[in-house]
A and B are shown apart, each in its own frame.
Chain A
Amino acid sequence: MKSIRRSLLLYSLVLLVLAFGAVSALMDRTVGQTLLAEEQSRRELLDAQYKERCREENNKLDESLLQQARMIASVVQSQTQWSRSQNRRLMGLGMLTASLAPSGQVLLPVWAAESLDESLDRDRHIGLGGRIDWMLATELKLPEGESGHHDDGDYVQIRNEWGGSWRSPSMAHREFPVDTEQFGAMKLFSWKFDDVEMEGTRLRRVMLKSPVTRFRVSWRGFGRGEGPREGPRPEPGTRPPPPRMPSERTSPAVLVQFAADTRERDANLAQIKTRFDEETAQMHGNSQATLAAVRFHLLAITLATFAVVLGGGWWLIARQFDPLRRLTSAVSLVSERNIKLRFDEKQVPSELEPIVDRLKRTLDMLERAFAREKQALADLSHDLRTPLAALLTTTELALRKPREAGEYREFLDDCRNAAQQMSQLVERLLVLARLDSGVDRLQPQIVDLAQVTSRCLSLVRPLAEARGVRLSMTGEGSAEATVDADKLREVITNLLHNAIEYNRPEGSIDVRVGRCNGHVRLEVQDTGIGIPVAARPHVFERFYRADPSRHTEGLHAGLGLAISKEYVERMGGAIRFESTEGQGTTFQVDLPAKA
């Protein structure tokens, strides 16, 4: 992506998405789990509540049933009428089923009579026959007015041990099944609950075993009496003795069965259930809503953060890139006239520091290069203009007034010298121009370095001798190289001229030619003034002169070494020097040996 800003934003947004995604997922799961756990516990609570309420409801019914059963049990009467037994006996024992009479009297089934056991016998101290008579003669009865203990919707059935029973009118002809063994096994005052169905209606039934506390024995024809009902009246003033608990031995027991239809209870239960369901649903709905709210918030936060990051990031990044922009404008202010980079160092962010530093250094380098070129140009213009001025003034002078032939000759001589000087300079400039533009082409040939060198030496010998400098050359055999011959000659001549010019009077120049692992080597050693340390890095630069005064001889104008270096390097070689100030300099040229 081309724009740093855009890619930065994009990547940070991607990272943000990932981060937020992870966080959101995590949060969602955590919240979900928490809500789920909470819901779970609440559900359990509701469940327990529901069960409790159901139980309560059931208990309510059961309690009411029991209470009513108890009430009835407390008022049930057992009436024995001997006269009746006689009548019954007459009716015969073949009657098995009960027949209903409005008053609820029923004939005892035979098996009831037969199931009489000895315990009864023991308790009652009544003979067996008497017992049957007793049974036949006994009937259960609720006193008038006491029937109000039950409603029309309730079903009551009272049963005594030997089958005598009483039923409420609502029972009609129906009968509750009774497990007499169970009945017998039950303890007094104990009760049992169960559910029965009667002709499609579901009923809840309580079976209470209770002692008959009221029984009446009437002897029609034999007299009347009341059985023991209560204990002896307590004496006034004393605490009444605790009432004697009737036990099975002392009084007969009955099984009171009280049943009521469960419609109301069921309705209530249904209501409870509905409530439970509602509450459950509501709770679930709440937790779902909470979850949804959490999710919504997460989304909202994510989006908001996105927007903030996008907008804020855009702006912030723009601001952070401000130094870059300032750098750009600072750079665009750099011109030829003003090469300095005007940029406040303190405001540079660390990332840009290397760039700014390098820029400054590069610009400094350029500035120095420009300054050098400028200086070189100034020097050059001086070097051309001065001989030109001499030429001009000489000719003006010559023409100023009539002169003698000898004078004219002198003047013309001077003109020629000046012209020559200028010509040399122009030549060198042209060489450089040609090299720069690439017009100059090297023509490599196989040359013997030793031969070429000795020829150059002989050419410069007069010049050396004029200055009193001794020239000598040493070399071992031939040293053949593949180079451009003309250029080579120029290089050698230049080095020799330098050696002569910068030499001491009565000094010497040693020239050595030899071979050196794959190269041929030329060394020119002089006993001259040496090259000052400060000048050494610049020796091969164009127009550079260690001593600016040395233009008077007009031989080099500071270009000789620059051209030599250019030539040598184009021929595939290298040029270097060693120098000691006050003692001398040695220039060394390596060229590739003949391939």
Chain B
Amino acid sequence: MRLLLVEDHKPLVRAVRQGLEEEGFAVDVAMDGEEAGYKAETTDYDVIILDVMLPKIDGLSLLKRWRKKGLSSHVILLTARNTVEDKVRGLDSGADDYLTKPFEFDELLARVRALIRRDHHHKSPVVRIHDLEIDTAGRTVKRAGQAIRLTPREYNLLEYLAFHQGQVVSRMMIWEHLYDEHDENTSNVVDVYIRYLRNKVDKGFDPPLILTRWGEGYMLRGEEE
């Protein structure tokens, strides 16, 4: 999952970014409204964390502009303003969620994940495909009742495939959603991780869930097949 963090306070940026990355998210950062606009319009982010008080362009106007343009990424507003009016104004401007500073980091995480789940119509935190059980809240994986340990990257990849179950995801898409701008784009990183994943998830289980579509990408087996 790829996130955009828009915040101009450096210490906060450092802390939040590190925390999110440690949780397996790919995080891009913008320090002012202009940069944020540019990045949001060129990359498809799963969630944008937006601070309202920004230099150059006010956060809310930016948001309104995005929504007008049809940008459908989820947006969480991060702000020091905590009055009801501010919350209402923020939500009415097109935000999906609102978090006030100072905040608990865990809360930020949970809300981000909730938004992602919403995207994929998975209201329940547990995703079940065949005998695969993925608890997106606890970030645990079980297959046929057996717990499988995955690294954060592996988990993110599996979760991504699971959210797109039955659909082909191209390498490009995988790359975009799992790796931030600073990671080097080596084309077989994706392949490598697919292999890692297969080792853990498919090996010893039936049916194989991670499928290859030559020339197109990968896919997690859907329920119908």
Which A residues lie within 8 Å of B79 (CB)?
382
Q: Are B9 and A387 in contact (CB under 8 A)?
A: yes
Q: Are A393 and B16 in contact (CB under 8 A)?
A: yes
Q: Verify if B53 is at the interface (C-beta below 8 Å from A).
A: yes
Q: Verify if A152 is at the interface (C-beta below 8 Å from B).
A: no
Instruction: Indicate whether A396 sits within 8 Å of B104 (C-beta atoms), given known contacts A390-B9, A390-B15.
Output: yes
Which B residues lie within 8 Å of A549 (CB)?
8, 32, 54-56
Q: Are B105 and A387 in contact (CB under 8 A)?
A: no
Alpha-carbon gap, A386 to B15, bound state (A): 12
B149 to chain A, nearest CB (A): 16
Which B residues lie within 8 Å of A385 (CB)?
80, 100-102
Of all chain A residues, the one with the shortest Cβ separation from B19 is A397
Instruction: Indicate whether A414 sits within 8 Å of B22 (C-beta atoms), given known contacts A388-B101, A392-B103, A393-B105.
Output: no
Which A residues lie within 8 Å of B61 (CB)?
none
0 or 1 for each of B1-39: is its CB under 8 Å from A? (1 = yes):
000000011111011101100100000000010000000
Chain A contact residue count (CB 8 A cutoff): 29
A122 to chain B, nearest CB (A): 156
Q: Verify if A389 is at the interface (C-beta below 8 Å from B).
A: yes
Secondary structure at chain A's binding surface: helix, strand, loop or mixed?
Answer: helix
Q: Are A382 and B81 in contact (CB under 8 A)?
A: yes
Q: Which of B11, B22, B100, B104 contacts A401 (CB 8 A)?
A: B22
Alpha-carbon gap, A396 to B11, bound state (A): 13
A305 to chain B, nearest CB (A): 62
Q: Which of B8, B54, B81, B101 contacts A389 (CB 8 A)?
A: B101
Q: Which of B11, B53, B103 contacts A394 (CB 8 A)?
A: B11
Q: Verify if A418 is at the interface (C-beta below 8 Å from B).
A: yes
Which B residues lie within 8 Å of A548 (CB)?
53, 55
Instruction: Indicate whether A547 sits within 8 Å of B55 (C-beta atoms), given known contacts A392-B103, A397-B19.
Output: yes
Q: Are B19 and A389 in contact (CB under 8 A)?
A: no
Within 8 A of B (CB), among A538-571: 547-550, 552
Alpha-carbon gap, A400 to B23, bound state (A): 11
Q: Are A386 and B9 in contact (CB under 8 A)?
A: yes
Instruction: Indicate whether A386 sits within 8 Å of B101 (C-beta atoms), given known contacts A381-B80, A397-B18, A400-B22.
Output: yes
B87 to chain A, nearest CB (A): 13
Q: Are B53 and A382 in contact (CB under 8 A)?
A: yes
A410 to chain B, nearest CB (A): 8
A206 to chain B, nearest CB (A): 131
The residues of B with any CB-CB pair to A shorter than 8 Å are: 8-12, 14-16, 18-19, 22, 32, 53-56, 79-81, 100-106
Q: Besides the contacts A391-B102, A396-B105, A550-B55, what 12 more A-B pairs have beta carbons closer than 8 Å?
A: A378-B81, A382-B53, A383-B80, A384-B80, A385-B80, A386-B12, A388-B102, A390-B11, A394-B11, A401-B22, A411-B15, A549-B54
Closest 3 pairs (CB-CB, A-B) = A549-B55, A389-B101, A385-B80
The residues of A with any CB-CB pair to B shorter than 8 Å are: 378-379, 381-394, 396-397, 400-401, 411, 414, 417-418, 547-550, 552
Q: List 19 A-B contacts (CB under 8 A).
A: A382-B53, A382-B80, A383-B80, A385-B100, A389-B103, A391-B11, A392-B102, A393-B15, A393-B102, A393-B105, A394-B14, A394-B15, A396-B19, A400-B22, A411-B15, A414-B14, A548-B53, A549-B54, A549-B55
